[in-house]
Structure 1
């Protein structure tokens, strides 16, 4: 019997469309893998085993099966997006355990394309932090289960990296797709503002949060992004030469980037230069105030999300984060700081098509009860290891995490690609070149 766990979404969908397998067979195999491995990984808050098998049979019976881009593909959904018939807990006991009446628009688009939702994945409380743990469990990095998968889309990333699903849906407000993708050896893209419907919590963290795919191949990211955006993200057969700026400087003053991530970035730059791109060292004009700006937006977004929830049911780190942010909400809501940052960065991206940076500054923290630890300790842990992602949520421009090389521990390393608005296809083309020139192991060997 053909094994479908570990196959790409594109491979699975093609096999289902051609009737070389059935959606039920594919989904059942992935559910069995979840049952076997998730006790060690902690990716899922809830698994929809019975419902997923029934939905797989519905996909098989669809008259348009031969045209479905994600025919029979199992998908995991981050637990801050509504899935019809399931509660949306956002990692906290403070939210109601009430089944959603309708799917979030991104979930609806995945289902319309033939995907089958097998479960909802773990997140840190209110999706605040770059580690994933809380009352529903701890999401661990399948490559090194002593380490966190990252956050806040940590459960989604862990599920894909462990081969429990080929693709997963997450979102990114300060790096929440790119951080866990970089930790777990996955490809992801945070789309530019407006490319994919958002509708994440109350106000999308002032428009900074974007929904996006997590996958093991660039082809699957392109496929899933096309479904989520409801428009084809085309691949160029012969991508043009790009002007690529390479920077290993941290955007946040006082935060250093570790040697493995610096080395990965420089080696990726050499490969792209060898492929014909115009590659040069150049640092974006990050303002010294960027750290303060990021902290104000990060905490203010939590203040909005926590409003109306019973504070007695929230972890102390969440309560403090929200309390700090309440004083900034009105100022952040104007968007003036974000507009100033965009204006400051625009000349740099006029001169350069793409920015290449490390995806992280260092490996992820140890997995553990971070939700029981102090607020300042959490903030310092997050900013120390993941300072590279927030600027591009503040600007609203597209950014990717792409696996590249390995850390001394053997876990994956990664680089980040950033582009101007509308450059998602160009970023994917570059990521595809890196994938071809330096292939990566797609899933962790947990069996």
Structure 2
């Protein structure tokens, strides 16, 4: 795959918006160039479900027609939206033709905020059926990781991650119910922030996966991540400053017993800890108080979310992929048995917040993944056990912080021996999103990463 000859395909969102506001280029030109690159690259990547070519050009012209662009932090920036998030004039696909809903009459609130900031939605990106899995494919199409086309970009926001990592857009909306922003970020060498509970409008499914889901963005830089977070949270653009000296807890222990952490991810945490010390912070071993029941409770909630979403959409389970069908049926069973309870989530949230206070820890550093991204093909047609075991084994570190409703960010650290990215996760107490972004910015300054998989 080759880039079209324009300096702004592959640029950051901040660079594009600045150029458009200054009049160095137009939103129309920027969007046209990115649509051309999508046409070149996406037949191989399969990041997009739908590309809004003509509509996006019309919306870019409307940006150019505005007299004053100074109040548009994303002026002319091409963005992609995950396919479970309503975009006016398009069906909401939810990961498969079976789960697709009618054409949306209005934008989801986060899409409305992106457009209000001057962004242009060029298309919607693929995800696994009902957003359930850590890989992104269906019976016909597998979305591919730009770093290695044999591998998955992760899930469930895999299409958004593939689009950003390949430079097809500088920013993509994503959402995270059990790691679906952070897992693809780690797989594709991106920055992915899951905000804490209630900071960004959710409005996904019945109740946002029992309150575990959050909306965010995937980007190639911390500056873009901060900008996207500000827009979605309805705040003035965040100005990142060097954080005060922080006490950082370091944990390698998987949340569930019996899971193995591979050496590249182990070394990524060691590298990140050294960078933090070099930046003036202190580190100490600090293991979160994972309970034996946390894993089973999280898995039961994951299953019940599948059943709840299928029921909301009025789906016949027989029409779903075999793995989704079994997940939803088990979800109905565990829900009816009373195994999914708000008190479980409340107790883990209280325990997690107490961890930061009791250990006098400002931030927790963990691996982002336990192993490399799986191969891309064959998951939708495979069995339920294959998908659930693979998803939980390679990406166990994200879900506890959805269960707790705490903010967490994934930051690239380098490249594995196999050439795929490697990353770490930073977790904070409530309302620490800006602190996490500032700390991630120090990582970026000290240890710059390759922003795009294809240069």
- TM bracket (short chain): over 0.9
Aligned equivalent of 2:119: 115
What does residue 198 of structure 2 align with? 194
Q: Distance in 1 between matches of 2:320 and 2:361?
A: 44
Report the counterpart of residue 255 of structure 2 in structure 1. 251
Q: CA separation of 1:400/1:316 partners in 2, compared to 1, >3 Å: closer, same or farther?
A: same
Alignment partners' CA distance in 2, 1:418 and 1:161: 23
- Segments of 5+ residues of structure 2 without an aligned counterpart are none
TM-score by length of 2: 0.96
Q: How far is the alpha carbon of 1:274 from its aligned partner?
A: 1.4
Stretch deviating more after TM superposition (86-95 or 361-370):
86-95
- Aligned position for 2:302: 298
Structure 1 pair 133/115, CA: closer, same or farther in 2 (3 Å)? same
1:443 corresponds to:
452
Return 5+ residue gaps in structure 1 as ranges. none
Question: Which residue is equivalent to 1:129?
Answer: 133
Matches within 5 A, 1:37-52: 37-52=41-56
Q: Alignment partner of 2:154: what SS?
A: coil
**Structure 1 residue 55 corresponds to structure 2 residue 59:** yes
The answer to whether the 8 A contact 1:190-1:400 is kept is yes
- Confirm or deny that 1:338 pairs with 2:342: no
Q: Secondary structure at the match of 1:133?
A: coil
Q: CA–CA distance in 1 between the matches of 2:168 and 2:405?
A: 31
Give, in angstroms, the shift of residue 233 of structure 1.
5.7
Give SS of 1:30's match: helix
What secondary structure sits across from 1:280 in the alignment? Answer: strand
Relative to 1, partners in 2 of residues 1:212 and 1:100: Cα closer, same or farther, differing over 3 Å? same
Q: How does 1:264-303 map to 2 (within 5 A)?
A: 264-303=268-307
Classify 1:197/1:43 alpha carbon distance in 2 versus 1 (closer, same or farther; 3 Å): same
- Give 2:375's aligned residue: 366
Q: Is the 8 A contact 1:75 1:165 kept in 2?
A: yes
Q: Which residue of 2 aligns with 1:421?
A: 430
Q: SS in structure 2 opposite 1:372?
A: coil
Write the deviation string for residues 156-192 of structure 1: whole angstroms up to 9, x where unpaired: 0000000000000000000000000100000010000
Asked if 1 retains the 8 angstrom alpha-carbon contact of 2:80 and 2:169, the reply is yes
Partner of residue 410, structure 2: 401
CA shift at 1:277, angstroms? 0.6
Aligned partners of 1:139 and 1:149 also within 8 Å: yes
1:137 is paired with a residue of what secondary structure?
coil
In the other structure, the counterpart of 1:140 is: 144
Cα distance in structure 2, aligned partners of 1:122 and 1:348: 36
Name the SS for the 1:370 alignment partner: coil
Q: Does 1:325 align with 2:331?
A: yes
Give 1:96 shift: 4.3
Cα pair 1:56 1:116 within 8 Å, conserved: yes
Q: Provide the secondary structure at the position in 1 that maps to 2:135.
A: coil
Q: Do 1:17 and 1:65's aligned partners in 2 also have CA atoms closer than 8 Å?
A: yes
Number of aligned residues:
446
State the shift of 1:343 in Å: 2.2
Contact 1:30-1:74 at 8 Å conserved across structures: yes
The 8 Å contact of residues 93 and 314 in structure 1, kept in 2 or not, is answered as no
Contact map agreement 1:245 1:356 (CA 8 A) in 2: yes
Kindly report the root-mean-square deviation, in angstroms, between the aligned alpha carbons of the 2 structures.
Answer: 1.3
Deviation of 1:289 (Å): 1.5
Question: Would the aligned equivalents of 1:77 and 1:119 in 2 still touch at CA under 8 Å?
Answer: yes
